[in-house]
Structures are given as C-alpha cells and as structure tokens.
Chain A
C-alpha cells in the first residue's frame, strides 16, 4: 500500500509516492536521480550513504523514507552554491583527501554536520566526527587535515 511522503532535498520540495519499506537512500538515488550518495554496505556500517537530515548526519541506508517525512535533507549535490565549491570541498581537493571518491560524499556530509554543530572542533573531535566512516584509500589523516584547515578559516565561505 503506497504512501505519500513529502521531502525537501537540497532546497527543493518533493511529493513522493512510495512503498512503506523504501529507504531514504533509494528515494535519493533511484527516485530523484541524486546518485552522489553511495551504497557501500546497506547495513549502516560504512558511512558512504551519509546525508544530512534536519541538521543531523544520518546513514540513509538505515532510515526509512517515511521516517524522514516532512524533513529537510541535504546531499552532497547541495553542498556547492551555484558553481562555487564549498570550503570543505575545496579543502578535500587541496589535501588529497579524495582518492577513489566512493566514501567522499558521506564524509563531506558528516564533516558539514559536525562543523554546523561545532564550528571549532579539535583534532580528536574531528576524528570522532568521522569515526562512523570507512575510507580504504586515504588513511583518514588527510581528511582530518582538510577539515582542520576549514576550521582555521583557510577557505573563505562562499557568498
């Protein structure tokens, strides 16, 4: 028995007609074509599917779309403003915090949620902030350095 779900994704409102068991990640990738969010495990363990839901980083493979009804979602596609990359995106690129890129969207979302909640985390807090994410390529330290530079104000906010 399909149900209607209302979601605002990256600032755009959607009315979706879906089966109750549909996961948020399916809505984003398969229904809305926002393939930036990745499926790494489907069991909530790897973090590749992280998006921001009502200000909190969540693993979209473990959230039912119905649970997000009426909520605001940000995915990696919503990070840049127009053609201007977000400071986190610029920092990741400059620090080589991206290699294969499969963990990157989730990593960026968790980083943004962390900085939105705490604009001045120390190194330990940054590491804790991304502890729910596996990265098989970079060894994490470059990601921590990228986030640290953003915290220090090395990148001007996009106007």
Chain B
C-alpha cells in the first residue's frame, strides 16, 4: 500500500492526448495573420573575413519583405556564461568574420518559404578566405590561425580540479595503467528542428513562440542581443519536439526571426531544415582523453590523473561547462583519495560543440569504465568486485567539491550481480559488460548570472477546488508537466486531475532556468512543493477553525479529504473548506508561492543519481558486426515520482547512449560534415533496439521533493562503456575510440589474430 496517493502512480502524460490526436501545436504548426517565412544564408567557408554583403537584389525581389545582416544588429556578442564576458563570443549573425561552415551571415523574410529561399541566392557575399584549422591538437600550436581576436593559441577555456597528492600516491601504487581514448561528437537529432515564430509589435514588444528547453534563457539572451528590456520580451514554449541539450541557447532561428520581425513589425517564422539542424546548430563535444590510474594489488584505487583536450568548434556555447563536468564526473562514482584533472578546450573551425544529454559524463564514463575493467583484469579482480570496493556510499564527501547524500550504488551493484549470475553461462561470442555512473540533479553554478532563484512556482486555488499551477519549467517531452503536477497534487492533497499546469511562458510564469542538466524534477519540483505547501497552509487554517478539534491533533489533506491524521475517518471535504477560506479572506484568491535555489551543497549539484548498467552483445568474429541484445539497468533516482516517465527516460536513454557507443558519428572533411541527413546519420531503429530491463532500488534523497532526484541524463552515461566492456568479454578486443563500429571491431580482431600468430 503506497504511502502516497499520486506520487509513484502510473498516469497518462499531460499533453499526451493532444499529441496522439494531432491537436498539439508545435512552433512550426503555428500561424499568425500576416506572417512571413524566414530563411538564413550561411557561410560555405570554415574561416573567412566578410568583406561585403550586397542585399540589394534580394530586397527588390517580389515577395521579399525584409533582409537583415550583421549590420542590422547592435553588434553584441552573446553566450551562456554571462559572468565571463570573454566567453560571450557569438554574434549569431556574423559581422566581420565567419568561423565555421554554417555560420549565419544574412536572413530574409518573405511571403513564402520558396521565395525566401530564392532570395538567399540573390544575396552577394564577398569573402576573403582564411586558413582554417580543424584538429584541436593543431589549433593550439603557435602556427595555427587565430580564430577569435585576443585568444592566442585558440585555447578557449581550461579547467583544473585536484585533491590529495597524485604524484606521491602513484609512487605507492602496485599497478598503474595509462590509456588513451577518443570520444566522438554526436548530433542531438531532435525530431523537431530548431524553430521560432517571432512577432514584434508597434509598441516595441516582442513575443516569441519557440521550441526551447528554457524560455527564460531565451528571453534574457534576446534582451541582450536586441538591446531591449527583459519585460518587453515574452517567450512562449508551445509543444516541443525534443531538446536533449540543443535548445537552451539562443539560436539562429530565434535571433534572425526576432531581428526580421523587429525591422518590419510583422510576425516571422523560421524553421531550420534537417540539414541546417545537423550542420548549423551545436553538437556533443568530442574529447581526447588521457587517463592514468593507479591501484593497490587488492584493487583499492589510490590515484587518478585525467588530461583532456576537447574540440570546441567555433564558439564557446556551453562547451566550458562540458569541459568542467567531464573532469568532475571522471571521479565518479568512486572514492579516489587522490585525483587530478587538467582540461583544455580548443577553438576549431568546425560546428560549435556544446551541451548534449550527459554533458561530458557519457565521455568520462566511457573512458573511465573501460579503463577500470582493464585495471580489474590486470589485477585479476572481478569487475563487480573492484567497483564494490571503491564505489561511493551515502554521505560521502568529494574533497572540496561535493556532498553526496543518498547513494544507492551498492544496491545497484548487488542487483546487477544477481542478474548476471542468473543469466548463467553465455553462448560463444556473447559478452556482458558493465558500467557504473553517477550524475548531478541540476547544477549549483550560476554562470548565467541570474538574479532570480533557480526555480519558482505559483499555485492558485479556484473556488471549485481546481488548481492552477504556474511554473517556468519547460516540458520538452520528458514529462515535466506531469511530474510537477503530481508533486503539486500530492503536497496539496488533491487528485492529479485537479491540477491544471501552465508552464514556460515568461509572460505569466515565474522564471525557471529550464529543462537541462537534469534539474527540473529536483529544483522545479522543490519550488512547486513549496508553493503547494504555502497554499495548503492557507486552507488548513480554516479547516482547523471549522473542525474545532483538540489542539493535540494534527490535520492533513489526502485525496481531497481534510482529516485528522490519527483518525482519518473524521474530516471535512476540501471543497467546502476552499469556499470558506476564500470567503473568510474577503474573497481573496488563495495563492501559494514557492522557490528554490540550492545552498551549501558544494560546488556542483544538490543531489546525485547513481546506477549500473549491464549490456549483452553478440559479436560475429568474422565481420566485426555485433548486436545489442539486452541492456539492463539498476538505477537510483531516489523516490520515483512519475513511474511511466522514468521508464521512458531509461529506455530512451539507451537508444541515444547506445547510438553513441555503436553507430552515431559526424565525420568531417575540412570542417564539412559529411553526413548531414537522416539517411546517412546512423541511429538505432526499432529493429536494432535491444531488450531492456529496469531494476528498481529504493532510496530517498533528502534534498529532493518527496526524496526524488534526476533520471534523464545519468542514464545516458554508461551504455557506451558497457558496450565496450561487453565486446571485450565476447571476443577479447577493445576499441578505444567512439563509436565502436563493426569496422573497428573487425580491424581489432584481425590485429589480435596477427599478433597471436607472431
């Protein structure tokens, strides 16, 4: 019998009915009277000066209503790391220089898309091409062309994390390994491409409907780039077709549509094509990893040294965060007494690299878990044992960095160990590989420099007992509207159907940093819980008075029934008390307010999820081809709020993370992405998707609402590592570069054979 009425139940997602009936309106479905269609002209060169742009022919074309270039902007550079102005380096609409193939140089608004597209062909841009550099190892040399003024050697950011004494510790180790890995890029491949409908009116106010993970971030970034007041910009998030980290920065569709609309006071809609989506947005950060790991012969890990250089692409974007987090999560989920991380991010003339689900942790988990298995083999220790010996435990403190409260890693290890034992002896060429992870539930850092609390919520109770919940949190398909409504209903003691949620409209919802970094369940959830508790208190005052019970008794609401906690049969209807509470307060509407910002929780996150994944593969030793048969995950996300939602996150993460390990890649030739189409960008489809198994464990996170913490990103971390370890178990070869394609497995097998012959 669950102690909760709503939390943990299986419910249909809010907005689901609209989606299955085709009623849900996404940004590209919206039209406004007088609306124009926009298209963007992009650089064909990876690095070039813009000498001149002549838009006169395009402007004269029938059906074209406005053309903009960098000259129409206020000349600002923007970036997410607003506390560090030197990292705000992106103009979006380039003025003097283009820095990658796809960098925007002009935009057109016309009566239809075909006309706009044709007008692009009439814009004459005079470029002076410059030498370009694509490899970060070359980009940081003295001979490389400088990509951004004032940034010598193209070293964009560097980050260092250290505790203990790594050099001394290595001298005490019985065994040391050094290994190199290359982690590839990955495209977010949201089903809905980036798009925006911007409407600037004659009063100087801008409304933007856009597919976004953070309405608030887009509002503030537009404010900076357009030189407007924050309150004169309203960003609304209609139904959104996926984000995965690609949609919380100001993008070319949003900026160009706003700029065009501002020029002529007419609505302008821009929807990026799939090719633009692949080449002119942002992507996962490729990383070159050099790891040194030292242990005692009993498997105790003593020291880890991590050296990373990442390919930054043309702009900083969120790449600085990825650089930091990959270094931090390289220490997860184990207790290292001595640790050192030195990371460098290099600019290159390629598509900017930024945030993508996992934010540097899929990379660090792949390399770390691969190396740990290798260390275990060197020492003759079982892979589960070495993880058990060194795994984090509840209340562990990462020196100088983080406080871990709940941690279910060991329960997860037990579950996976039991599962593998049960599977028993495997057929030939089959292998099961494991990988463990830990991940954050939202970040504590405020590089964006917001003056607001990170999350806020308002609860309004109507005379008929129905509840309006206002939250800035963004529903992007992950089910946050559902999860937050469940938290509200549980706290307030009403039914899930009593809640009507309004989210991510900056005109009516309080600010929230948005749906990225796995923050909303914990942070927005805490704000919602506080707002619901505030509204509840206002009702309970009247309930106590109405019921007149002895002061020793506590009252609570559950399932719309206000009752004595000790004698639940004695109570009154929530609906009656709401009416009385409103009348008793002179008709004043009952409004509850809540907010949340993590305090005194270290430098990274208020709470961490943990888990371990086991992947079974079957390899064909002749061809190197392999099948993902089964991926089982034991995960610790604290109290599960939205059961259907979490299962969806877990299975969906396997598709994306499995793809990262198996087949997704963006090969480039001199800065040009060679496969910018769905036909050529290989992803896991229904026939390739493995069977999945979820093993629940029971933990409670004190910092989270009802004990909950994140689930969307941590689950994306381990799959590539589990696949790599599984292939090694199956056929005895290791591939240290992602993706682990059949071709690489084939080559490794043939190389192993020829070595054995010698």
Contacts and interface: CB of A to CB of B under 8 A. Distances in A.
A62 to B, nearest CB: 12
A41 B17 contact: no
A141 B20 contact: no
Interface in A128-145: 128, 130-131, 133-144
Nearest to A103: B191
A119 interface: no
Given A142-B648, A144-B686, A134 B678 contact: yes
Contacts of A148: none
28 contacts: A29-B29, A34-B22, A38-B191, A40-B678, A42-B273, A43-B678, A76-B20, A76-B22, A93-B13, A93-B20, A94-B12, A99-B479, A100-B190, A101-B16, A102-B191, A102-B242, A105-B22, A127-B686, A127-B689, A134-B683, A135-B655, A136-B189, A137-B477, A137-B652, A138-B652, A139-B651, A141-B651, A142-B651
Most buried by B among A40, A76, A131, A143: A40
Interface string B1-41: 00000000010110111111111111011000000000000
A60 interface: no
Given A138-B651, A139-B692, A100 B477 contact: yes
A45 B678 contact: yes
Most buried by B among A43, A45, A99: A99
Given A103-B191, A134-B678, A79 B687 contact: no
B478 A99 contact: yes
Interface string A61-102: 000000000000001110110000100010011111011111
Contact of B654 (A105, A128, A139): A139
A98 B656 contact: no
Contacts of A99: 13, 477-479, 648, 652
Contacts of A139: 648, 651-655, 689, 692
Given A104-B19, A139-B655, 13 more contacts: A29-B29, A38-B191, A43-B274, A43-B678, A46-B678, A96-B13, A96-B648, A100-B476, A102-B192, A138-B655, A139-B653, A139-B654, A140-B689
Contacts of A35: 22, 25, 29
Contacts of B677: 41, 43, 45
A85 B21 contact: yes
Chain A, interface size category, equals: 35 or more
B61 to A, nearest CB: 18
Most buried by A among B20, B23, B190, B240: B20
Contact of B686 (A48, A100, A140): A140
B136 interface: no
Interface residues of B, number: 53
A82 to B, nearest CB: 12
B244 interface: yes
Interface string B645-682: 10110011111100000000000000000000111000
Contacts of B653: 139
A140 B655 contact: yes
Interface in B145-197: 189-192
A131 B679 contact: no
A108 to B, nearest CB: 7
A101 B24 contact: yes
Nearest to A78: B22
A40 B244 CA distance: 16
A38 B21 contact: no
A127 B687 contact: yes
Q: Which 8 A-B pairs have the closest CB atoms?
A: A36-B22, A100-B477, A101-B19, A102-B241, A139-B651, A102-B191, A45-B678, A35-B29
Nearest to A80: B21
A77 B16 CA distance: 14
B685 interface: yes
Interface of B: 10, 12-13, 15-26, 28-29, 189-192, 239-242, 244, 271, 273-274, 476-479, 644-645, 647-648, 651-656, 677-679, 683, 685-687, 689, 691-692
A43 B16 contact: no
Contact of A75 (B22, B26, B683): B22
A93 B678 contact: no
A40 B478 CA distance: 19
Q: How would you classify the secondary structure of chain B's contact residues: helix, strand, loop or mixed?
A: loop
A37 to B, nearest CB: 7
B21 A89 contact: yes
A127 B691 CA distance: 12
B13 A136 contact: no
Nearest to B15: A101
Nearest to B691: A141
Contacts of A142: 647-648, 651
A136 B651 contact: no
Interface string A20-58: 000000000100001111111111011010000000000
A34 B21 CA distance: 11
Contact of A140 (B22, B26, B685): B685
Contacts of B15: 101
Contacts of B13: 93, 96, 98-99
Contacts of A79: 20-21
Given A41-B274, A101-B15, A108 B191 contact: no
Contacts of B191: 38, 40, 46, 48, 100, 102-103, 134-137
A132 B20 CA distance: 19
A140 B656 CA distance: 11
Given A45-B677, A105-B22, A138 B686 contact: no
A108 B689 contact: no
A101 B17 contact: no
Nearest to B12: A93
Contacts of A137: 191, 242, 477, 648, 652
Contacts of A103: 191
B241 to A, nearest CB: 3
A93 B28 CA distance: 23
Contacts of B26: 38, 102
A128 B687 contact: yes
B656 A136 contact: yes
A144 B29 CA distance: 28
Contact of B20 (A29, A85, A100, A136): A85
Contacts of A85: 17, 20-21
A93 B21 CA distance: 11
A127 B189 CA distance: 21
A141 B644 CA distance: 13
Contacts of B476: 100
Contact of B647 (A36, A41, A96, A136): A96
B21 A77 contact: yes
Contacts of B652: 99, 136-139
A141 B684 CA distance: 12
Contacts of B21: 36, 76-77, 79-80, 85, 89
Contacts of A131: 685-687
A75 B20 CA distance: 11
Contacts of A95: 644
Contacts of A48: 191
